[in-house]
Structure 1
Amino acid sequence: MANETLKAKMAEYTAKVEKVAAKNPERQNLAHNRLYTPLDLEGFDYERDLGFPGDYPFTRGVQPTMYRGRFWTMRMYAGFSTAEESNKRYRYLLESGGTGLSCAFDLPTQIGYDSDDPIAEGEIGKVGVAIDTLKDMEILFDQIDLGKVSTSMTINAPAAVLLAMYIAVAEKQGVPADKLNGTIQNDILKEYAARGTYIFPPKPSMRLITNIFEYCSKNVPSWNTISISGYHIREAGSTASQEIAFTIADGIAYVDAAIKAGLNVDDFAGRLSFFWNAHNNVLEEVAKFRASRRVWAKVMKERFGAKNPKSWMLRVHTQTAGSMLTAQQPDNNIVRVALQTAAAVMGGTQSLHTNSKDEALALPTEDSVRIALRTQQIVAYESGLADVVDPLGGSYYVEALTDKIEKECWDYIKKIDDLGGAVAAIEKGYIQKEIQESAYKWQMDVESKQRIIVGVNQFQIKEKAPEGLLRVDAAVGEFQKNKLAKVKAERDNAAVKAKLAALEEACKDENKNLMPLILDAVKVYASLGEICGVMRKVFGEYEAHVSL
């Protein structure tokens, strides 16, 4: 009876609004309903669909008290030029109140080449820090206690090598591996689908990932062994629903591979983490975060039969949307990042990186990085958003949108299952095509002004050329090459040759875990390029091809 009364009232409201809208037309192409009421939540069950924070299905958050007990980790993403320069920035960030580090590596490092390789020319230190050997890693974390700081590394194809270097540096500091906290991205499937910094074909890449799962479950138990990344899928142009659907499908593939390799799901699932984009539509983003936790909890409990509640939790690091930063009127980016930060916090993230206002133009300056960090601190200490768990829970709109995104996510996962799983869907070009079509639609909406981007296609002003941008000196390349040559001259090259030979033999045996061999090679100062070169020799290189 209550619903019937509400339906009648809703009909009256709609009729009245239509008359108003006839005189004062509403904006066109809005994605959602004008108004949400309990009618949009028919069949809603609080215990089944929401529950309580810290309890299955974790819609309201993975911790019972969320930020009332401890704020999210304020993890600023940084890395440029040399290890020496990046170390200065890391210490500056920690001294400014950052509570974790997030390392950016240059493109040669990301695809397993040393700075002295001809293919690295012109890219050394440009979009991240150049890491060639353990010596660089020692410099990168000089005067930073790895027993106290949590470190995230955005590295994928050579993730095992960078993790080995990090473990070796910690050992030199006297910090045992079982005391280390942090994350390696280690998500190769999204590289094939959306980003492109892959090295090896899918099968050996998946082997390396499961080797890391196994090694860390025994030796580095507090380390997050993978950050399954929707961030780059969203940056490539996906919708919110596609971001979580394709990423969770990748997560299913990793869990499948680990189980097939003989691992027990509850031995590694609790150290899986995710990486979401905080985009511009604040309430849609909040709903996306909530829906993703609910979907993953059901996947792990119902599909994989995980018994430990920690295995059901989707824990997430978030970065504000780099693709939404504009070169025009860059001060506007401060506002965008603040709103995206609010979305991530209301959505319940576990850690957060905020982009700097000038990143559409260049690497961020210290001043712009400080503003980005202060944005998090203002949201944490002044906004009140962190004072209540799941502050938008119960909103008719947010709950309806959470349900909608969840349904769209399940629809995509079913389609991917029907194609044979995430690896097959990527090989067939399905995921890439879906992302491309969404990106194209977004761009057409911008160009037709159906979607307004302030300062870009509306509210433009005449601007001066930007000043004071951070540029990486071209001399960095020569400096890095000389440093690498010095390491190679001073190390025990016979030991390096022996360790690389042992790694090559192990690569040929699918039953061997490669992490101990990579760690051995790293410790004698074998370079990243040499280690990846051995694996390239055995595994080959992946060449992208799409059959639609």
Structure 2
Amino acid sequence: MEEKEIYTDSDIPVHTLYTAADLPQQEPERPGKFPFTRGIQPDMYRGRLWTMRQYAGFSTAAESNKRYHYLLSQGVMGLSVAFDLPTQIGYDSDHPLAEGEVGKVGVAIDSIEDMAELFNGIRLEEVSTSMTINATAFILLALYVAQAKTQGADLSKISGTIQNDILKEYAARGTYRYPPKPSMRIITDIFEWCSKELPKWNTISISGYHIREAGSTAAQEIAFTLSNGKAYVKAALDKGLDINILGKRLSFFFNAHNNLFEEVAKFRAARRMWAQIMKDLGATDPRAQMLRFHTQTGGSTLTAQQPQNNISRVTIQTLAAVLGGTQSLHTNGFDEALSLPTEEAARIALRTQQIVAFESGVTDTVDPLAGSYFVETMTTGMEQKAQELIDQIDAMGGSISAIEEGFMQEAIARSAYEYQQKIEAHEKIIVGVNRFQTAEANTTPIFKVDDSIGALQKQKLEQLRNNRDQAACDRILSGLRSKASGTENIMPSVIEAVEARCTLGEIAGTLVGVFGEYQ
């Protein structure tokens, strides 16, 4: 009987049966030991569960603050902030290009006053905060630090993460502002400043999530992400930073899709590959060789048709992330193909994590799928596919060159096109979309953000500008421009600027005058 040919989306063949003959002959690996395939901690979730986060942010800082207090009351362990598009790119809410986008896909943050409202009643020393922000990450970090200082916080105890991963923006997402080289300079300034002033802060979350959302395969997700990671580490080494210190503050951000075993293999392979990359770059401290990562369930896998089906999808993806050894996890609301999540959808998403943690038994032992003929073979296959791509990128001169040549963008677009073709040809079944459809009208409640948010933010900005020391702002921004034109670290000037109530758009715009805008 001829064997049916089945391949994963990463083009890894899946056989009918796996046996011991499929496994490489090697010594059994231990969790917590190089190359960390089985996990970065010897006891993994027996010692400590992953951090349960829920990505949230919409409308005004005051409205988002209410959602944060609600999520904390429901058991989240850390906050994860979504910013609106003007904030992500560096425009104040009253800029003409912000029209219609204020507060829509995240919270609008224009100034220190918005940051104070966002974290009203939340002690920053006591909560870990992740901020999904890239082009303007240095400004949002400065605002966060300034707010912590007003609370009297000890900066050495402040923990959290800024995404700060600009390379994937050029390749997959698009919220860039400055060209690649000055953007890399800003990022290494953040690395340097935090190593001295904010030692518990993760200075970058190198993101495969958005690469996957743009249509990449799982193998491309880790290949492009790890290549970007290499570029950041090399830039930091060129600045004279210690890889054994820097490596401990790097984190990664991956996607979780529906093919359970391919996703578990992806996470295991990524850990093994990054450990070797860091070792080759000179890291000798095991903690600097570890790949620590946050996972978010796959937004692009959610369907507007029969949205309750998404609860099942998110559950599978949650299991993939946990079985793969994630350190932090956000689960999407079932209604996110329709709108921002309602409170009910956010609660169900959080409860999915809690049920997996406390009822499923998968946290009782470390790397429970280790030794599976299938999973071990898939892990090796994933590593080989990803390594082939990394070798191609290295031959081009690294990630920046690969992005400038359009290699990553073209590969992602091709994979997205091929995936959609398979759906349309019914080679890939999406339940409720191209099979098992229903004619019932969708009655799922939709979360809506009021359009009046833009006018409210404009009013707040006008009041702020009328009540601040404009001469001081002008002087500080001039000093920032001077530092950006030279080689001095810009972070102290950015913190001084936000404390003087300079706005996000003014600070971002000052650097446009030095660095230009990426086209």
**Is TM-score (shorter-chain normalized) higher than 0.5?**
yes
Aligned to 2:99: 121
Once the two structures are TM-superposed, the CA of residue 332 in structure 1 deviates from its matched residue by 0.1
Q: Which amino acid aligns with 2:464?
A: V
Once the two structures are TM-superposed, the CA of residue 407 in structure 1 deviates from its matched residue by 1.1
Q: Which amino acid aligns with 1:46?
A: E
Once the two structures are TM-superposed, the CA of residue 513 in structure 1 deviates from its matched residue by 0.5
Aligned to 1:541: 517
> How many Å separate the matches in 1 of 2:30 and 2:494?
43
The C-alpha deviation readout for 1:79-104, integer Å capped at 9, x for no partner, is 00000000000010000000000000
1:133-532 counterparts in 2 under 5 A?
Answer: 133-301=111-279, 303-509=280-486, 511-532=487-508
Q: 1:39 aligns with which of 9, 21, 24?
A: 21
Once the two structures are TM-superposed, the CA of residue 69 in structure 1 deviates from its matched residue by 1.1
> How many Å separate the matches in 1 of 2:91 and 2:440?
40
What's the TM-score once normalised by structure 2's chain length? 0.98
Once the two structures are TM-superposed, the CA of residue 157 in structure 1 deviates from its matched residue by 0.4
Aligned to 1:8: none
> How many Å separate the matches in 2 of 1:238 and 1:475?
37
Q: Say whether the 8 Å CA contact 1:29–1:450 is kept in structure 2.
A: no
Q: Say whether the 8 Å CA contact 1:273–1:316 is kept in structure 2.
A: yes
Once the two structures are TM-superposed, the CA of residue 467 in structure 1 deviates from its matched residue by 4.3
Once the two structures are TM-superposed, the CA of residue 64 in structure 1 deviates from its matched residue by 1.1
The C-alpha deviation readout for 1:483-541, integer Å capped at 9, x for no partner, is 111111111111111111110100100x2101111011011110000000000010000
The C-alpha deviation readout for 1:380-436, integer Å capped at 9, x for no partner, is 000001111000000000000000111111111110010110000000011111111
Q: 1:441 to 1:222 in 2, by over 3 A?
A: same
Aligned to 1:85: 63
> How many Å separate the matches in 1 of 2:147 and 2:6?
57
- Unaligned 5+ runs, structure 1: 1-17, 544-548
Q: Is 1:112 the equivalent of 2:90?
A: yes
Aligned residues: 515
SS of equivalent to 2:123: coil
Once the two structures are TM-superposed, the CA of residue 265 in structure 1 deviates from its matched residue by 1.1
> How many Å separate the matches in 1 of 2:52 and 2:25?
35
> How many Å separate the matches in 2 of 1:170 and 1:29?
50
- Unaligned 5+ runs, structure 2: none
> How many Å separate the matches in 1 of 2:379 and 2:177?
37
Q: Which amino acid aligns with 2:296?
A: Q
Q: Which amino acid aligns with 1:32?
A: V
Q: Which amino acid aligns with 2:184?
A: M
SS of equivalent to 1:175: coil
Once the two structures are TM-superposed, the CA of residue 222 in structure 1 deviates from its matched residue by 0.5
> How many Å separate the matches in 1 of 2:73 and 2:184?
38
Q: 1:352 to 1:28 in 2, by over 3 A?
A: closer
> How many Å separate the matches in 2 of 1:416 and 1:461?
45
Q: Say whether the 8 Å CA contact 2:306–2:442 is kept in structure 1.
A: no
Aligned to 2:78: 100
Q: Say whether the 8 Å CA contact 2:227–2:390 is kept in structure 1.
A: yes
Q: Say whether the 8 Å CA contact 1:356–1:372 is kept in structure 2.
A: yes
The C-alpha deviation readout for 1:98-140, integer Å capped at 9, x for no partner, is 0000000000000000000000000000000000001000000
> How many Å separate the matches in 1 of 2:94 and 2:25?
60
Q: 1:117 to 1:142 in 2, by over 3 A?
A: same
Deviates more, 1:358-367 or 1:173-182: 173-182
Once the two structures are TM-superposed, the CA of residue 465 in structure 1 deviates from its matched residue by 3.7
Q: Say whether the 8 Å CA contact 1:60–1:389 is kept in structure 2.
A: yes
Aligned to 1:72: 50
> How many Å separate the matches in 1 of 2:314 and 2:85?
25
Once the two structures are TM-superposed, the CA of residue 46 in structure 1 deviates from its matched residue by 2.7
The two structures, once aligned, show a CA RMSD in angstroms of 1.1
Q: Say whether the 8 Å CA contact 2:209–2:255 is kept in structure 1.
A: yes
Q: Which amino acid aligns with 1:507?
A: A
> How many Å separate the matches in 2 of 1:465 and 1:395?
41
Once the two structures are TM-superposed, the CA of residue 442 in structure 1 deviates from its matched residue by 0.4
Q: Which amino acid aligns with 2:16?
A: R
Once the two structures are TM-superposed, the CA of residue 28 in structure 1 deviates from its matched residue by 6.2
Once the two structures are TM-superposed, the CA of residue 144 in structure 1 deviates from its matched residue by 0.6
Stretches of 4+ aligned residues off by more than 4 angstroms: 26-31
Once the two structures are TM-superposed, the CA of residue 267 in structure 1 deviates from its matched residue by 2.2
Aligned to 1:58: 36
Once the two structures are TM-superposed, the CA of residue 463 in structure 1 deviates from its matched residue by 2.3
> How many Å separate the matches in 1 of 2:490 and 2:443?
48
Once the two structures are TM-superposed, the CA of residue 27 in structure 1 deviates from its matched residue by 8.3
Once the two structures are TM-superposed, the CA of residue 44 in structure 1 deviates from its matched residue by 2.8
> How many Å separate the matches in 2 of 1:37 and 1:237?
32
SS of equivalent to 2:363: coil
What's the TM-score once normalised by structure 1's chain length? 0.93
SS of equivalent to 2:226: helix
Once the two structures are TM-superposed, the CA of residue 29 in structure 1 deviates from its matched residue by 6.0
The C-alpha deviation readout for 1:299-358, integer Å capped at 9, x for no partner, is 001x21111111100000000000000000000000000000000000000000000000
Q: Say whether the 8 Å CA contact 1:502–1:517 is kept in structure 2.
A: yes
1:5-16 counterparts in 2 under 5 A?
Answer: none
SS of equivalent to 2:473: helix
Q: 1:295 to 1:120 in 2, by over 3 A?
A: same
SS of equivalent to 1:46: coil
